[in-house]
């Protein structure tokens, strides 16, 4: 690089050195790779992803196979880390079953297998929901910010009203509308198609829609703000001046310039989506049983936490690790792409 000479000497001839050009994105990824916490997060997510994809090969049993004789069966090592769980042989109540690595639940299903399959739900939600939210929020934000005027006013006031909704109640209401509404539909109708699609996805589709409908507002606000700041730039004025159609201006000029912060915001929001799904499954409005979801497993296990803490603690740990990983990765991405924000908030 030309850092050796600090002065520009017009009499001297300069040769442009063949430095590898680095784009902003490449720079950002370099910064990201140096961030240890983010890399650990990425690794954990990758492992989770592999586990989720190859669940049928990794899991020792099927997630819904019931072993009647092994209900609440627990391996020895688990009874050792949870001192309250005394085996029957030592005067306690716990059936020792070494065949189940983390134990079996109250219906005699292998906990480990259920946790492995549960990764599928959490990861799918963590990966798909941001896209849905991004699309929804971006469309509304672009419309509001670019079109401006009364439409902007109406949309933003509506966003304000949505913020006044108690989110948890709204999502419970929406999920009930979907779940209970879908059960009364006639075959052939539009809604029926959706409900079949949802059933074929194990109940995930409605979760996506439910989370999407309750959390697009942040994204829309952010997108609108970005559009407003970008819209005044000269290149937009120039594009308008040469008569570019609105669609071209929006998708070629505005969108590429506002997408960065939006993607970062979505990445940071992933843990909250995973928590949403866990919450929905916790209250029984999430995935359809017997599909295992960590939130649902926690809900099932927590009632027996005094006798069999492993039923709730292990899925809770799995959920915790995944959310932690996404948090680390999100923080790292933000720091990498927007170094001015480092250490803020």
Partner 1 sequence: MGKFIIRRLLWMTLVLFVVSLITFILMRIIPGGPFTGEKRLPAATLAQLNAKYRLDQPLYIQYLSFLEGVIVPKITTGKQSNYLDHEYLINLRLPFGDRATFRWMNFGPSYNSIGRTVSDIFRDNLPISMQLGFLAFTLSIFIGVPLGIISALKRNTYIDYLAMAIAVLGISVPVIIMAPILQYFFGVQLKLVPVSGWGKPNQMILPVIALGASNTALIARLTRASLLQVLGQDYIRTARAKGLIERLVILRHALRNALIPIVTVLGPTLAYMLCGTFVVETIFGIPGMGKFFVTSVTGRDYQVIMGTVLLLAMFLVLANTIVDILYTFLDPRIRTD
φ and ψ at residue 104, rounded to 5 degrees: -115, 150
Q: Decide if residue 319 touches partner 1 (CB under 8 A).
A: yes
Instruction: Report the DSSP beta bridge partners of residue 87.
Output: 94
For residues 207 and 287, the answer to whether their CB atoms sit within 8 Å is yes
Q: Decide if residue 306 touches partner 1 (CB under 8 A).
A: yes
Q: Decide if residue 55 touches partner 1 (CB under 8 A).
A: no
Q: Decide if residue 84 touches partner 1 (CB under 8 A).
A: yes
* Residue 171 CB, nearest approach to partner 1 (Å): 10
Residue 74: both structure tokens together: 């627990």
Q: Decide if residue 302 touches partner 1 (CB under 8 A).
A: yes
Of 131-139, 220-228, 249-257, 277-285, the segment contacting partner 1 by CB under 8 A is 277-285
Q: Decide if residue 174 touches partner 1 (CB under 8 A).
A: yes
Q: Decide if residue 166 touches partner 1 (CB under 8 A).
A: yes
Q: Decide if residue 295 touches partner 1 (CB under 8 A).
A: yes
Q: Decide if residue 165 touches partner 1 (CB under 8 A).
A: yes
127 or 249: CB nearest partner 1: 127
Of 44-52, 104-112, 251-259, 315-323, the segment contacting partner 1 by CB under 8 A is 315-323
C-alpha to C-alpha distance for 221 and 140, rounded to whole angstroms: 9
Return the exposure string of 175-186: e unless at least 16 CB atoms fall within 10 Å of the residue's CB, then b: beebbeebeeee
C-alpha to C-alpha distance for 147 and 165, rounded to whole angstroms: 26
Interface pick for partner 1 out of 67, 82, 192, 194 (rule CB under 8 A): 82
Instruction: Look up residue 95 and give its DSSP letter.
Output: P
292 or 301: CB nearest partner 1: 301
- Mention every residue, 6+ apart, whose C-beta is less than 8 A from residue 165: 214
285 or 333: CB nearest partner 1: 285
Q: Which of residues 175-204 bind partner 1 (CB under 8 A)?
A: 176-177, 180-181, 183-184
* Residue 270 CB, nearest approach to partner 1 (Å): 11
Interface pick for partner 1 out of 2, 26, 161, 199 (rule CB under 8 A): 161
Q: Decide if residue 40 touches partner 1 (CB under 8 A).
A: no
102 or 319: CB nearest partner 1: 319
The radius of gyration computed from the CA coordinates of the chain, to the nearest angstrom, equals: 26
For residues 282 and 299, the answer to whether their CB atoms sit within 8 Å is yes
* Residue 248 CB, nearest approach to partner 1 (Å): 36
φ and ψ at residue 94, rounded to 5 degrees: -90, 125
Can you tell me which residue has the tokens 């490449």? 26
List, as one string, the DSSP characters of 142-191: HIIIII-HHHHHHHHHHHHHHHHS-HHHHHHHHHHHHHHHHTTPPTTSHH
C-alpha to C-alpha distance for 198 and 192, rounded to whole angstroms: 10
CB neighbours of residue 312 within 10 Å = 18
The residues of the shown chain that bind partner 1, judged by CB under 8 A, are 82-84, 160-161, 163-170, 172-174, 176-177, 180-181, 183-184, 271, 275, 278-279, 282-285, 295, 298-299, 301-302, 305-306, 309, 312-313, 316-317, 319-320, 323-324, 327-328, 331, 343-345
């Amino acid at each position: 690089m030309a850092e050796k000479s600090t002065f520009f000497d017009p009499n001297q001839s300069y040769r442009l050195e063949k430095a590898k050009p680095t784009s902003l994105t490449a720079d950002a990824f370099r910064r990201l790779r140096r961030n240890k916490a983010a890399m650990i997060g990425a690794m954990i997510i990758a492992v989770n992803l592999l586990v989720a994809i190859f669940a049928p090969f990794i899991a020792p049993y099927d997630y819904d196979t019931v072993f009647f004789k092994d209900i609440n069966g627990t391996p020895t090592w688990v009874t050792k880390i949870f001192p309250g769980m005394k085996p029957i042989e030592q005067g306690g109540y716990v059936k020792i079953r070494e065949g189940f690595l983390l134990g079996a639940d109250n219906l005699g299903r292998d906990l480990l297998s259920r946790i492995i399959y549960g990764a599928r739900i959490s990861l799918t939600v963590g990966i798909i929901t941001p896209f849905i939210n991004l699309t929804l929020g971006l469309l509304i934000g672009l419309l509001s910010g670019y079109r401006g005027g009364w439409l902007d006013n109406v949309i933003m006031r509506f966003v304000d009203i949505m913020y006044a909704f108690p989110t948890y109640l709204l999502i419970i209401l929406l999920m009930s509308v979907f779940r209970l509404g879908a059960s009364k539909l006639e075959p052939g109708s539009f809604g029926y198609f959706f409900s079949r699609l949802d059933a074929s996805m194990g109940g995930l589709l409605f979760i996506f829609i439910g989370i999407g409908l309750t959390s697009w507002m942040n994204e829309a606000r952010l997108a609108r703000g970005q559009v407003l700041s970008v819209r005044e730039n000269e290149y937009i004025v120039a594009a308008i001046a040469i008569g570019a159609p609105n669609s071209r201006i929006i998708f070629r000029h505005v969108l590429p310039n506002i997408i960065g912060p939006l993607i970062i915001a979505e990445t940071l929001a992933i843990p909250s989506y995973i928590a949403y799904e866990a919450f929905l499954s916790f209250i029984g409005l999430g995935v359809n049983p017997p599909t295992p979801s960590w939130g649902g497993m926690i809900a099932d296990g927590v009632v027996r936490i005094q006798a069999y803490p492993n039923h709730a603690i292990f899925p809770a740990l799995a959920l915790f690790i995944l959310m932690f990983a996404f948090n680390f990765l999100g923080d790292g991405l933000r720091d990498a792409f927007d170094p001015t924000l480092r250490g803020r908030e």
